[in-house]
Amino acid sequence: MSRPSVFVSSAYYDMKHVQSSVDCFIETMGYQSVSSNKADISFSLDAPFDRFLPREVTKADIYVLVIGGDSGFKAGVENKTGELFFEGYDAIIKKELESAYSRNIPVYILIEVKVYAEYQTYLRNKTNENVEYAHADSVRIFQLIEEIFLSSNNSPFHSFDHVSDGMAWLREQWAGLFGELLQLRTTQEQLLTLSKQIEALSVINTNLQRAMNSMGDQPKPDQVLELIQLEPQGANEAIQNEALKQNKSFRVLSDRNITIGQFRAALLATETFSDFKDKLDELSSGVDKIKPFLSVYHCSSEAKKSFNEARVVLGKAPYFPLQSNGQ
């Protein structure tokens, strides 16, 4: 079974230790951790940043971004170079986010609590270039956070003080995500059942309309009542056919041009698998060598199990002894 893949990215230098902790946490959760650290991706000012975009982010199931305030950029370097440095960082993060958003995978953002607190100060002092920030070495960090928050994707975020705090938040978020997936699965099953019921009602309506038309302009009340009483049988047949279409043996036979009607009729008309082979061969005279194929195919325990299941759907006794199902 494939493990969920989580791509972890840290926007700035001082979050590398947090990123490593997140990597370990992900592995303990049983997921696969992928990060720029593991991919050995380094950043260079004299090369196009596009080539540093981690390929793995395009294949990840979850994306986690960790934001701190120390870029690792050394003081004293000319401002022009510094701006290029941040542009490279920002562009990489934005491309990663764009990739995650375009694939509609869950995105979670961890922001160091001191940086997030100063981000609130930044919002009130955008136009004041003289403000100095104690926990961020460039307003570009705040600009990146603001751009993320202003996007239409509404990714959940958490400001953390300790690494354990961030891990606890991720664990809670992923537990909620898992719960939503389970609920979605239940909802899909309910919709499938509802769809089958609607199809059954459609069959009833069609059959009733056809029968009513055959009775003329003014059918007698007792004739209509008789039709209504018989139609649940037709609805049940429609539901049974939907179940048979999911049967493994039918899917195999349908690849050999056996129809659901032929499969159903052969199952209903016989009490042994040997008779089933003869009957299906008779009903599908246009299908070449169906009997020899069934003689070989039915030998597997999975085939016997699926034929038994098909018989049970129709309210018939299994062809094969039940203990054979586990062999």
| Angstrom distance (rounded) from CA 200 to CA 231 | 10
**Average pLDDT of the residues of the chain:** 76
Q: Per the domain annotation, does 82 fall within a domain?
A: yes
Categorize the per-residue pLDDT at 326 as very low, low, confident or very high, splitting at 50, 70 and 90: very low
Among 161, 182, 209, the domain boundary falls at 161
Q: Per the domain annotation, does 306 fall within a domain?
A: yes
Look-up of token digits 């299908």: 287
| 148: containing domain | 5-161
Domain count across the chain: 2
Average pLDDT over residues 257-273: 93
Q: Per the domain annotation, does 67 fall within a domain?
A: yes
Residues 149 and 287 in one domain: no
Among 144, 161, 178, the domain boundary falls at 161
| Angstrom distance (rounded) from CA 133 to CA 88 | 22
Lowest mean pLDDT among 71-75, 244-248, 293-297: 71-75
CATH of the domain at 51: 3.40.50
Categorize the per-residue pLDDT at 262 as very low, low, confident or very high, splitting at 50, 70 and 90: very high
- Which position has the higher pLDDT, 147 or 34? 147
Per-residue pLDDT at 147 exceeds 50: yes
Q: Per the domain annotation, does 119 fall within a domain?
A: yes
Q: Per the domain annotation, does 181 fall within a domain?
A: no
Among 135, 161, 187, the domain boundary falls at 161
| Angstrom distance (rounded) from CA 98 to CA 92 | 10
Q: Per the domain annotation, does 176 fall within a domain?
A: no
For residue 59, the cross-strand partners are: none
Residues 120 and 265 in one domain: no
Following CA atoms 69, 70, 76, 80 in sequence, which dihedral angle do they give, to the nearest 10 degrees? -60
Per-residue pLDDT at 307 exceeds 90: yes
pLDDT of res. 38:
53
For residue 65, the cross-strand partners are: 9, 109
Average pLDDT over residues 190-203: 64
In the chain, the DSSP E strands lie at 5-10, 32-35, 62-67, 107-112, 157-160
Residues 153 and 250 in one domain: no
Categorize the per-residue pLDDT at 252 as very low, low, confident or very high, splitting at 50, 70 and 90: very high
Average pLDDT over residues 243-255: 90
Q: Per the domain annotation, does 44 fall within a domain?
A: yes
pLDDT of res. 33:
84
Residues 137 and 28 in one domain: yes
Residues 38-78: tens digit of each pLDDT: 544 444 444 454 555 556 677 788 999 888 876 544 443 44
pLDDT of res. 313:
85
Residues 267 and 141 in one domain: no
Residues 130 and 35 in one domain: yes
| Angstrom distance (rounded) from CA 237 to CA 246 | 15
Residues 252 and 147 in one domain: no
Count how many Cα atoms sit within 13 Å of the Cα of residue 59 in the half-sphere of its side chain: 10
| Length of the chain, in residues | 327
Per-residue pLDDT at 106 exceeds 80: yes
Q: Per the domain annotation, does 166 fall within a domain?
A: no
Residues 272 and 143 in one domain: no
Report whether 273 contacts 324 (CB < 8 A). no
| Angstrom distance (rounded) from CA 105 to CA 7 | 11
Q: Which amino acid is at 166?
A: G
pLDDT of res. 140:
81
What is the percent of the chain where pLDDT is above 70? 67
